[in-house]
Every structure is written in structure tokens, then in C-alpha cells.
Structure 1
């Protein structure tokens, strides 16, 4: 047990999974990254009429939830269910329950819109005469922000603390800080963390109204980038103290440090010099006790927004100096919003485990104003320490620093 006011523990990433538009499970994403095969396509979601591309997970319409959890049925929880079935994740959690007990394992998930689509469709189906909504409308188990973590808690048979984090696109990065605190305070022995966000009308039309969506596949870091491609994803990690995993001889990857900041410069734009992003990266390095030159690769937030990409590059230069190896992987999956943090972490974990850095997809001409080593092609490299950034509306910023367990010391 750790002292509540002491240093936050290094966490073993004991199990990881992610499901994106590239397909279900880590293997599908790895294959797409290696083959440089994007998963974005022209928007075909419901009757949405927008000139943009999206990252849509195939087959969610046919995913079924357990009958006992039927009240939780919505696109968001179907996506969570599909992800739970991949990479032996459920089995890893079951093993943790046998070791620790269900009441000692918490669930903290990030999301930005949860199952809002369920309510959007309900309003679409209102009685034309009375305006009455269809009955039953399971708001609490679908639309409410706690829906997905409560679903996972029941689905996995857990009994520890359970809650959602909703800080826009940094949501599923910040859950790792929550897990560190729960474990440091002695409340949990392990925590299921991650995030899930699915396509809905609010995000598609909302980002389009802000003139932030690209008319083609997004091109992060390109001199002619014109906006984001919205995607959907679900990903989860089982985290526990690194010492517990190493005692079992099972630790391979560890989370060294988490950096958080809120710059509150503007509701939907970052500080133009990336001050909040810079602070989050510095805090992650400080929490991990690492110097900037120990980071081999940065998985950028890299949304392909003109302002956001430029601000992140300035922040990178302030922290690492010019020439830091980095890339954005939004060209494969789209910007998965509340699931961006976990998607970035799993992508970085795949890079470490398989010895390559993914080059940015769709980008043809790197913005000449950028100082970072913005990779445009995959690079063979045995990375030891990786940082992943996720930045959200309102200036909510989070940076995760992780790597091979032998680097934990």
C-alpha cells in the first residue's frame, strides 16, 4: 500500500486492448499501422449529410449485450462490449479478481458524449402529435456519462469504485491519473481504465459547425491540412502497481508518469504557444523522473486542425528542442475524441513491442514551420520510452509517459 501523500506509483500495463475503425483488437490496428492502410471513409453514418470522412467501426449494429444488461443497449456500450471481447482482456480481469477480489478493482473510463446517440434517435422518433418520447427511454444506462463504466463494472463482475471522466478529448488519458491516485490511496489494488466514444449526430454536426472537419481524410501536420476526421473507438487497460506484476514475472510495459494541465485559454482553441500542452508534458517527465532526451517518440494529439497542430509543435520544441521524433496516427483511426487517450497509448505500446515508429498517414508535405521530426514514413526503431498526448476543449491537457518495464527504475 502506498501513502496517499507520497509519490504516485509506477503502474504495470498488465492488459491492453483497443478497437477502432481499423478493426477489433490490437492486431487489427498493428496490421493497419504496418501496412499503412487507413480506415477512414466518406461519411455514411445514418442520414448525416456532411462532406467529411469518418472512422467508423464496422458491425456494431449486430453486436449484442448480455440479456441481463439489456437496459444498457446503445451504440456506445456495444462498442465497449466489442472491445471487451478482444485480446484476452476479460480473462486478464478475471485473473485479477481471483488475486485481489472484486471489491479491490475499480473502473474509471473516459468519454465525451457517452450514449447520446440513443437520446438523439429517441427525439427523432417522437410521437408527431404529442411529442412524447418512445418508452422506455433508458437515459441513465445509455446517455448518462457513467453508463459505460457502470456497464463494464457489471459485465466484468467488479465491485470497486466506478466513475467516468469527461474532459473532452483528454478524457481517456486522465483516467490513468485517477488510477494512480486510487492505488496510491490504498483504495484499489488494480483498476480497469480506458475510454469509449462512438459516432453521434452531436459530434459530427457540432464539429462541422465549428468549421473543424476535413473534407477528405485528415492530414495531420500537412502544410495544407484542413481539419479533423471524426472516429470512434473503445480501449481498455488493466493497471496495477508495477511491483505486483513484476513479482509474478508478468510485467512488460509500465506507465511511468502522467502530466495534467488546464490552460483555459479558450473554449475550443489551445493557447497559441501551446503553454498548456507544454506544462502537461513537463509534468509527465517530472512525475516519471525523466529528462526530455530519454523520450524516443511522441504520439501526438495531432488532429490536423491548423491551430492545434501548430500549438502542439511549439510546445514540443519548448520541452524537447527541435528534432523530436513524433507523428500523429489520426489518419488511421480518425480523432476518437474521449477515446483518443487510450488509442494513443495502445498505439505507442505497439510501437514499443514491435520495434517501429508509425509515420503520419495521408500527410504529403510537412508544414515547414514545424521544428519537430514529424515522421511521414514508418521508422524501424526499438523505442524504450514513449509519450502520448491528448488535449481537449477548454484547455484540458494530458500527457502519458510509458515504456518497457526494465526502464521503470
Structure 2
């Protein structure tokens, strides 16, 4: 273990967490899908699009409606947020945290890439003869990336510092780092973090124009990989200070690392230099060495260039550490991917199982990583999760179980003067 820099607030307890995606609502559905190695991707049939690709829609996102005094927030993205908040009793737990800490001591930091763009797309279809958007369209309550934050604040009662992070596919990983810094400053005592991203035509046809969509369910790290499968999801976590007497199954955020290499608008640095910086920074902030990490949840989008760049970066930093991408099961949930895969990493720690990638038949030998094609039962202390976005916005998170946290705190005490 190394001891160069450690944020004073770490570890932070992940007191509650939940994830909803195309494989189902809540943690049990997600864990079952990963354990059984099955995915939720379906042939594209979304909103009259005619693309030859597979998508991951969430059931009920079309039929749910937000009504009453919160009706102005009604859009697919916020409906998805409500579905996600209801899973695993997370909304009740978040409200309880607000009561315990005080409304102004709980922040809300959420990631999204498109917010409620779909609502604007639908509004343009209903334009008036003058060209004006239809009455009742509310940009700030639907389209705006901050809309989902405001909606979650309204549901939970949290009134602390709040923000939306929109840094492409790293968005809802970076919220964990943002929350840790807010807690470190003393502005808040707890944070509701997560990510929500929903399907829309802008995303589908945008990625199609970049020739990044796969005509098959995506197969990360396979030599025949040919693109991503776009999906949607909602995942949330409650971060609080680490207790003096944690439960046996407690999980903590112990490290984070961020970088912005700005190599290209849509292509990663070919050697994954920004990814390496983020992963090394996460190790440093946790006080860990590369050999301490037991499993890596890869960003693994299944595009040729992304997997190649991440594979080179992971090989350079970690060598043969077991790793996999779970996007074959859930699809790529874009701005929600960081939070969704943080939950997957937590479930791996808690249930002692490294999830294998699915759909991939073999591992590209050029990538030189220890990629899992079968689930592996294993005792783990530290898991790293990668999220890398367009423009070189990179974030890596490290989670630990009680044994891992105890080792870190013991090492910290020994190093104290």
C-alpha cells in the first residue's frame, strides 16, 4: 500500500444503493442477471427509429406518469428516476437520511448525458403552425440536465448543495468524487449520488452517425466486437461518513481518480493515457498499490478503439488482474453507466462473485488483459470501476468491504506521526 495522498473524508460508507436497467428493477434483479449470465437487450423498436441495432429499454418507462404538483417534471428521464428511486426502498432510506442529518446537510449530485432531450424531440413534432413549441412544454423541468436533480430533491426533501454532472459516459462516476469533496469541505454530511439516462433519438442517431452502433448485442473485448448497444438506467447511492462500528456487510468508497486528456472529441487516446492517469490517481487516493485490486469492472463499450485503449491502460497499470465489462448484460447506459457499474462493483464485493462478460465468445489477444468469460467465486477486498467518456473525461472509483477498510485504516494509523 502506498501513502502519498488520501482525501481526509475517505472512506465514505455507501449506506444504501440501488440500480435499475433493462435487466430489471433493483439489486436482486441485477445480481440475478449477472449470476445467470443473461442480458436485457432487445432489437430496436424505440420511438419509430429504424436502426439495425439492439437497445436496453427499461420496462414501464413509457407508461409511468408523474402527476400532481410534480407533473411539470413528467418526462421519460424523470419517470426512470422515479422507478429507480422506488427500487430497494431507496427513496425511503434517502428521506430518512434527510431527517437524520437535516435537509440542508444532504446534497444531491447526479449524472446524466442527455437529460430529458426526448421530451424536446416530441415537442418539436407538435410544433404550432407558427413554428413555436406547443403550450405546456417546460424546458427547465424536463430537457435540462438539472431537471432530474431538482426532481430528486423534491421527492427526497434534500436541500443541500446540489448539481448535475454531464461529462458523457463518466458523468455518474464523477458524482462520487464530487460528493466526497463536498463532504470534505464540511458543506454536507451525506449525499444522494447516482445517474439517470434515458433513450432518445438524438443519442441513437448521433451514435449511428459515428458508426458506433452494433447490429448485434454488444460483445466487449471480443476480437469481433463492432460497436455498442445503447441502453438506459437509473442508479443511486447514499454516501455518509464511515461509522466507528460498521455492519459486517458495509461497503465503502475508498478511492477516486479523475483525468481529462482531451485527446479527441469522440475517440480515446490510443494508449489510454488519460485512463491510466485516472486509475493511478484512484489508487493513490485510496493508499493502495495496483496489486491490491482484486477485480476491475471495465468501461468496456465494445467499440474497437475504446476497448483497445482501455485494455492497454489496464495492462500497463494492473497487469493480469481479473476484469470484465458488464455492458453485454445491461447495455451502455451512457450518463448512468458510472453509477450502475458502481452498484455492480458493490454487489461483486458483497456476494463474492466476479461477474463475467456475456456475449463475448473469446478475448482479443491483442488487448493482453485477464478478461473473465465465466463468473468467478472469490473473496475480494477492493474492486475498481472504470468510466470513460467522450472528450477524454475519465473517472475510476475504488470500493472496499469491511476487511479492506480495516486494513486501510490500520495502515493509516501506523503511518501517522
In the superposition, the TM-score normalised over structure 2's length comes to: 0.94
Kindly state the Cα deviation for residue 249 of structure 1 after the two structures are TM-superposed: 4.6
SS at structure 2 position matched to 1:85: helix
Work out the CA distance in 2 between the residues paired with 1:148 and 1:405. Answer: 32
Work out the CA distance in 2 between the residues paired with 1:218 and 1:277. Answer: 22
Q: What does residue 275 of structure 2 align with?
A: 277
Consecutive unaligned residues in structure 1, runs of 5 or more = none
Work out the CA distance in 2 between the residues paired with 1:248 and 1:281. Answer: 27
1:72 aligns with 2:73: yes
SS at structure 1 position matched to 2:62: helix
1:14 aligns with 2:15: yes
Relative to structure 1, the CA distance from residue 32 to residue 235 in structure 2 (aligned partners, 3 Å threshold; closer, same or farther) is same
1:315 aligns with 2:316: no
Q: What does residue 253 of structure 1 align with?
A: 251
1:159 aligns with 2:156: no
Measured against aligned partners, the alpha-carbon deviations of 1:26-47 in whole angstroms (never above 9, x if no partner) come to: 1111111111111011101010
Q: What does residue 382 of structure 1 align with?
A: 379
Query: Superposition pairs for residues 46-195 of structure 1, below 5 Å?
Result: 46-127=47-128, 129-195=129-195
CA contact (8 A) 1:13 1:251 kept: no
CA contact (8 A) 1:242 1:251 kept: no
SS at structure 1 position matched to 2:88: coil
Kindly state the Cα deviation for residue 132 of structure 1 after the two structures are TM-superposed: 2.3
CA contact (8 A) 2:7 2:285 kept: no
Work out the CA distance in 2 between the residues paired with 1:375 and 1:395. Answer: 26
Q: What does residue 25 of structure 1 align with?
A: 26
SS at structure 1 position matched to 2:256: strand
1:336 aligns with 2:333: yes
Q: What does residue 411 of structure 2 align with?
A: none
Kindly state the Cα deviation for residue 92 of structure 1 after the two structures are TM-superposed: 1.4
Kindly state the Cα deviation for residue 345 of structure 1 after the two structures are TM-superposed: 0.6
Measured against aligned partners, the alpha-carbon deviations of 1:189-212 in whole angstroms (never above 9, x if no partner) come to: 000000000000111000000000
Q: What does residue 204 of structure 1 align with?
A: 204
Measured against aligned partners, the alpha-carbon deviations of 1:145-175 in whole angstroms (never above 9, x if no partner) come to: 1000110001111111111001000000000
More displaced 10-residue stretch of structure 1: 267-276 or 85-94 = 85-94
More displaced 10-residue stretch of structure 1: 343-352 or 386-395 = 343-352
More displaced 10-residue stretch of structure 1: 129-138 or 154-163 = 129-138
Equivalent residue for 1:301, pick from 299, 302, 309? 299
CA contact (8 A) 1:297 1:326 kept: yes
Work out the CA distance in 2 between the residues paired with 1:37 and 1:358. Answer: 11
Q: What does residue 218 of structure 1 align with?
A: 218
Work out the CA distance in 1 between the residues paired with 2:47 and 2:179. Answer: 36
CA contact (8 A) 2:199 2:232 kept: yes
1:345 aligns with 2:378: no
CA contact (8 A) 2:9 2:241 kept: no
Root mean square deviation, CA, Å: 1.3
Q: What does residue 239 of structure 1 align with?
A: 239
SS at structure 2 position matched to 1:139: coil
Equivalent residue for 1:327, pick from 324, 332, 353? 324
Kindly state the Cα deviation for residue 370 of structure 1 after the two structures are TM-superposed: 1.7
Work out the CA distance in 2 between the residues paired with 1:378 and 1:181. Answer: 35
CA contact (8 A) 1:14 1:251 kept: no
CA contact (8 A) 2:109 2:165 kept: yes
Measured against aligned partners, the alpha-carbon deviations of 1:240-274 in whole angstroms (never above 9, x if no partner) come to: 1113xx44758700000110000111000110000
Q: What does residue 357 of structure 1 align with?
A: 354
Relative to structure 1, the CA distance from residue 174 to residue 202 in structure 2 (aligned partners, 3 Å threshold; closer, same or farther) is same
Relative to structure 1, the CA distance from residue 194 to residue 136 in structure 2 (aligned partners, 3 Å threshold; closer, same or farther) is same
Relative to structure 1, the CA distance from residue 248 to residue 377 in structure 2 (aligned partners, 3 Å threshold; closer, same or farther) is closer
List 4+ stretches of structure 1 deviating above 6 A.
Answer: none
Kindly state the Cα deviation for residue 65 of structure 1 after the two structures are TM-superposed: 2.3
More displaced 10-residue stretch of structure 1: 65-74 or 206-215 = 65-74
Kindly state the Cα deviation for residue 8 of structure 1 after the two structures are TM-superposed: 4.1
Kindly state the Cα deviation for residue 66 of structure 1 after the two structures are TM-superposed: 4.7
Work out the CA distance in 2 between the residues paired with 1:252 and 1:6. Answer: 20
Q: What does residue 405 of structure 1 align with?
A: 402
Kindly state the Cα deviation for residue 182 of structure 1 after the two structures are TM-superposed: 0.7
Kindly state the Cα deviation for residue 99 of structure 1 after the two structures are TM-superposed: 1.6
SS at structure 1 position matched to 2:140: helix
SS at structure 1 position matched to 2:267: coil
